[in-house]
Chain A
């Protein structure tokens, strides 16, 4: 989450920010299961834009094309400079992966020097979300163009969260390439997607060897309030 915030110039939270008004392109949820012997099993689930395929729910609803789906990369992009701030896309996203700038962004004196020059800062009143580190993709494209090669996701282009994760719990790759490691990985047992039955075709896959994790995360709605866990 920190690497994401630093990479994408996400400002420090305003004093009035709550867990429902912050800018967290990636949000780690804690999922717990009470065992019979009073023990608790815990797993962590990083939730970011699920990069829905073909017709992302947020893209079709935007009245002024501030959300763009790139058929070449499959990445769903947000164009904050074109955003009106109507927040219709936020109501459309079942993953709650979109965030509104409720406050003017501000950095403590001196901290603005640490801003990433490859990523634009956003203003108050617009929506933003994970774009798979567009600044890094752009940089990889420029380098590939200079060297006459092409961008290889996971090798020449690596988003900040993938790079920062010390246990390699997050991976990126080319799903369209059947020979890629990621394409093999998503076929392994225990791999699933969130809210797959809605037909949003998310391109973010989760994998867990624990059956209870898969069962909890593939269930469609919290059955009782006690099962709800905090983000």
Chain B
């Protein structure tokens, strides 16, 4: 039915099957959009956030998807700046994933703030000392860069290539990609960092507060490193998942190994830096603020196992798997390690956003718990559904994996 729209040389499932795949996601998106509408129309009393849990599921979602979306900038950086040509086979997919993650995060932020129509105030009255100002500026700019990077992927579509002016435009735009990759890398370093700084600067939250290295808290640098480390892992994971679901070989096995090796090298550096940071926090930062670190882990469900899972199970172990050449030969190990690394980053963002707010600061404060409302959960689901839908459409109609055509069985 839509064969004329599918790239030449690529085989895609029947339109009916594709429709059956996207329908449930479209349903989830519709429910989520209704939930988001309720929050915008009736106010944030539709959520289970409160004066103590002023940030909830949505901020967690933002921090996590932006970390996972880091694969876009980092793959771009490796390909265009460091000339790692092998990654050309996943760059299109990485750009689409980056665009999905960032646009999803921005959309949720617009529902999360109490007065979305005042979003422009940050540009008009910016407080240059606020980490959130840095986040707002960089994410807005980077989303624009990602949109520009997405355009050539769309322009390569066979129906658009028929228009000569579009062909020229695509060619010219492609030549500029190195510039956008550089801008994207620069912006990404700052906003990944400032997302970490968001919590690291909170002197009133000794669980999250970290001393400054220069003008930024240590979490600024940890976030950059962790996002860069896990970005390639997420690209590996999504490429593998797409390959399984579509039953197609999309990239050569070496690409998985390269992505794994890059993730592993960065992850081991991150685990080391995170361990040093945690030790300094336990022995110096937290006690100097009058909060013995052990007290933070006395609450049910939030024991030291969280810290161990984050650093060892989802940090050190995947890093060692990635760095072991024999294990790297096996896709199953690579995928396991990538999934662990992604789970580790999600846990790290959860700890910083949710555990920080759950912990008491005043001596008569209780330990707080919070369960998101269905409206919050459905909005979260809408971002997931939007991501799956946009990626599915891009995979079906655009050429996300340039090696795919050559890897098809004759």
Contact = CB atoms under 8 A, between A and B. Distances in A.
Interface string B118-151: 1101101111011111001000000000000000
A220 B290 contact: yes
Contacts of A217: 363-364
B43 interface: yes
Contact of B115 (A90, A98, A103, A125): A125
Interface in A13-72: 14, 16, 18, 20-22, 29, 31, 45, 47, 57, 60-66
Given A61-B132, A198-B206, A125 B363 contact: no
B115 A57 contact: no
Interface residues of A, number: 63
Contacts of B299: 225
Interface stretch (A77-85, A151-159, A180-188): A77-85
Interface string A106-127: 0000000000000000011111
Contact of A200 (B49, B131, B203): B203
Contacts of B132: 61-63, 86, 88
Given A63-B127, A91-B54, A221-B291, A82 B364 contact: no
B130 A63 contact: yes
A196 B75 CA distance: 46
Contact of B51 (A90, A216, A218, A219): A90
B202 A92 contact: yes
B402 interface: no
B114 interface: yes
A194 interface: yes
B51 A222 contact: no
A195 interface: yes
B332 to A, nearest CB: 41
A177 interface: no
Given A63-B136, A91-B54, A222 B365 contact: yes
B363 A221 contact: yes
B45 A64 contact: no
A21 B129 CA distance: 29
A205 interface: no
Contact of B202 (A83, A91, A95): A91
B366 interface: yes
A134 B254 CA distance: 66
Contact of A101 (B114, B356, B365): B114
A96 B52 contact: yes
Interface residues of B, number: 53
Given A93-B204, A200-B204, A222-B360, A125 B43 contact: yes
B7 interface: no
B43 A60 contact: no
Contacts of A193: none
A113 B202 CA distance: 41
B295 interface: yes
Nearest to B40: A125
B340 interface: no
B133 A57 contact: no
Contacts of B298: 224
Interface string B286-326: 00011100011011000000000000000000000000000
Nearest to A216: B363
Nearest to B296: A221
B365 A90 contact: no
A200 B362 CA distance: 13
Nearest to B47: A102
Q: Which of B43, B202, B357, B363 has the most CB atoms of chain A within a 10 A radius of its CB?
A: B363
Given A16-B45, A197-B289, A87 B55 contact: yes
B44 interface: yes
Contacts of A64: 118, 121-122, 124-127, 133
A160 B344 CA distance: 50
Contacts of B130: 60-63, 88
Contact of B362 (A20, A92, A127, A195): A195
Interface string B343-373: 0000000000000110111111111000000
Contacts of B55: 87-88, 91
B114 A124 contact: yes
Contacts of A219: 363
30 contacts: A14-B45, A16-B45, A20-B51, A29-B364, A60-B129, A60-B130, A63-B122, A63-B133, A84-B113, A84-B114, A86-B113, A87-B49, A91-B54, A92-B204, A92-B205, A94-B203, A94-B362, A95-B361, A96-B51, A99-B51, A100-B51, A100-B114, A102-B43, A102-B50, A125-B43, A198-B204, A220-B363, A222-B363, A225-B366, A228-B360
